[in-house]
Amino acid sequence: MEQDPPRCETPSLPVGAGLDDAQLLRYSRHVLLDDIGIEGQARLCSARVLVVGAGGLGSPVLLYLASAGVGQVTVCDDDRVDLTNLQRQIAHTTGRVGQLKVESARQAMRELNPGTVVETVAERLAGAALDARVRAADLVVDASDNFATRHAINAACVRHRRPLVSGAAIRFDGQVAVFDLRRPDAGCYHCLFPDSDEGEEMRCAVMGVFAPLVGVVGAMQAAEAIKLIAGAGRSLDGRLLMFDARESSWREMRFARDPACPVCGPAARGAYG
């Protein structure tokens, strides 16, 4: 069955469409950018984004999506704010220790921009619930911290042809990639990271993580999401960026769809209709 195009692919809007005077003032620095302008900002203000994870990566993602004026953000996380989170999870505060991360993040986002509608889901999404959330979104940002969730999000994005912005950070090493699954020939997360190659999970609770690293990667994820929605610049689709915070160096690796991928290969896509 043919899918309706994501909202970020809507045709150009009339000048000033959907933006009132207050919005034109608030987002004036975006409007001044030729690659965004009024039309791109209007797309941001009408977009629906799903963010899975409200921790180290999710914190900058959520704050930047709110500050940029994304119309509706659904944030999913089943965890509570812990004192050990505050070294890097900048959406949370000492006074909100013990609070659900999704509620803490919503408070931070509303203080930054009350115009963004924030929906919270205080659970670990899986199965039909994850599928429904992905289907309802225009774009998905994976800010989770485990491979099982990443693969589940990827499979749902493939099924519903939703662009996916993925990030990860551990110790001093970070990475970010975009999978624009609206394209029939796009590779997916499983093409790049087959689950058989993952081995043991690495968590910052055991391995540690350099605090600004999650800010760098999360900010990059937010930038890619905003660009995809607004139709600005060139996305990271088909490219993996790797950041070494020790050396302050970036490396890029290109990837393509694996024809034998059990998630997005021709046989799998045919099964999705």
Residues taking part in catalysis: 204
Contact 188/181 with Cβ under 8 angstroms?
yes
Calpha distance 117→226 (Å, rounded): 16
Contact 54/102 with Cβ under 8 angstroms?
yes
Residue whose C-alpha is closest to residue 165's, from 152, 154, 149, 151: 154
Per-residue buried b or exposed e for 28-58, using 16+ beta carbons within 10 Å of the residue's own CB: eebbeeeebbbbbbbbbbbbbbbbbbbbbbb
Contact 155/135 with Cβ under 8 angstroms?
no
Give me 204's structure tokens: 């910052």
* Pairing status of strand 48-52 against strand 72-76: parallel
Residues 6+ apart with CB under 8 A from 216: 174, 243, 245
Q: Which CA distances in Å does 77 have to 56, 57, 184, 207, 241?
A: 12, 12, 30, 21, 25
Calpha distance 105→54 (Å, rounded): 7
